[in-house]
Structure 1
């Protein structure tokens, strides 16, 4: 499979799957020397308008995330500490004397992100035992519902032994394919100390990326500290 998402005709298209908080480098194929001819254009999943993030190899500094962006010596685009808002399609384009030289390079960046809420607060990071918590795992892409409709792609919640939590009555799992979201609701008990709840993006038997939510007790029967950790299965982001 060369690409999940169809790009512009003639463009070289790549899909990259990561979890939020990771850093990633998006390749620009056939970039010209010193990047002075290189322009990177970004389209996100909420708007059809394109934004130039680099032009002529220079950071445009026109977005809140500009300080997290840089170019490498081969004109690849580095994104540091990615958030769900970085999901989208990135186009690397070459201009010489004002003329567009093709083909473009397109990278579809798919970011997996988990957020939590409890019955007492929508943004609480510390909760007590016997409190209900809901974890929402969402894929942020330019066209995420198309990705999940592609044969073999799915979002699942698993435990640390890779058992699908859909089969455990302690957990209520709900899916929303249109919003590319799968939520898990459970009541944490004292025995959940160091429990790992893992949201996984799978393609058939291949794990593309994952995020682990680790529950740790600060003291017995005391507050529960909910720690979100990155658990991508590879050191490098998954690229198709």
Structure 2
């Protein structure tokens, strides 16, 4: 092969690999957020989506196809959370730590290019996840950055308190463990009387914050527990006193009612007293002769009778003749 032919081959290879390499994007997200991965660069125009594939690499060992010819692969593990916009960008909803990795938008056809997006996901949680800070008065927080190569710069993960001050080594109520790969641990003590917020940050070489996540341990102050218990006991005592007062009042009311009720022997029917008043006037006097009118008033009192003793004398009549 002559020198001219060799130069042409080298030039074709250089242009080809320059086109495939395209451009790289770095995206940082937290679990539960949404992400939009672009398929174009600043100098390129939107491609034809029917000629676009989206490839996914969790690591460097396996490549999966999430989108083929502009359509989401339904058998993809993330298929239900993926969609493609009109500009062929890939949308990921409700991100999880397992979504971290490299996403490649591959455009087929003349001048095909690859646009790579490296998605990193930051998580923060107690360690272990089921740790109970109420048991021993402290808790260990774990901050992890999930990314494609699982490799982070030294001291790229740091902790700060609610004032923004960086926490280093061991201090008042906290201890920071040395960062290992992309994981950092912070152990904090109980903070009675107030809640403290701890923030995990990911920074670049210039100490610019790329992403951060907050966590506020849910400590219960023992004094607050005693106050709550005392309040509950106080309420119970008040309810018991009120119930006792009501019972005593009810008993007194019943006793008063029994005293006022007339005494009645068992088996005796309830006595009935009937009062009858009769006024009688002589209505046959002549209208022209003045006659002295007589008025008579009758009163009848009926007392209770029994089957064993029926005495006519129990019926009394009183006749009063007014003068």
Question: What TM-score results when the alignment is normalised by the length of structure 2?
Answer: 0.56
Which residue is 1:175 aligned to? 178
Unpaired segments ≥5 residues, structure 1: 1-6, 223-240
More helix, by proportion: 2
More strand, by proportion: 1
CA distance in 2, matches of 1:215, 1:109: 28
Which residue is 2:143 aligned to? 137
Structure 1 pair 16–218 and aligned structure 2 pair: CA distance change class (3 A):
same
Q: What is the RMSD of the two structures over their aligned residues, measured on CA atoms?
A: 2.6
Which residue is 2:211 aligned to? 209
Q: Are 1:108 and 2:118 an aligned pair?
A: yes
Structure 1 pair 8–157 and aligned structure 2 pair: CA distance change class (3 A):
farther
Structure 1 pair 190–61 and aligned structure 2 pair: CA distance change class (3 A):
farther
Q: Are 1:82 and 2:95 an aligned pair?
A: yes
Q: Secondary structure at the match of 2:98?
A: helix
Which residue is 1:124 aligned to? 130
Residues 82-135 of structure 1 deviation map (CA, whole Å, 9 limit, x = unaligned) = 111111100001235xxx852110011111111213xxxx33376427532111
Q: Are 1:18 and 2:29 an aligned pair?
A: yes
RCO greater where, 1 or 2, for CA within 8 Å and sep 6 or more? 1
Q: Secondary structure at the match of 2:165?
A: coil
Residues 131-182 of structure 1 deviation map (CA, whole Å, 9 limit, x = unaligned) = 321111111111131x425xxx71101111111122634212113333x111
* Deviation for aligned residue 1:9: 6.0
Q: Are 1:32 and 2:30 an aligned pair?
A: no
Unpaired segments ≥5 residues, structure 2: 1-17, 226-323
* Deviation for aligned residue 1:20: 2.3
Which residue is 2:105 aligned to? 92
The counterpart of 2:62, out of the listed 43, 49, 73, is 49
Q: What is the aligned residue count?
A: 201
The answer (yes or no) to whether the contact 2:19–2:112 under 8 Å persists in 1 is no
Question: What TM-score results when the alignment is normalised by the length of structure 1?
Answer: 0.74
CA distance in 2, matches of 1:57, 1:107: 17
Which residue is 1:148 aligned to? 153
Which residue is 1:197 aligned to? 198
* Deviation for aligned residue 1:208: 0.5
The answer (yes or no) to whether the contact 2:138–2:187 under 8 Å persists in 1 is yes
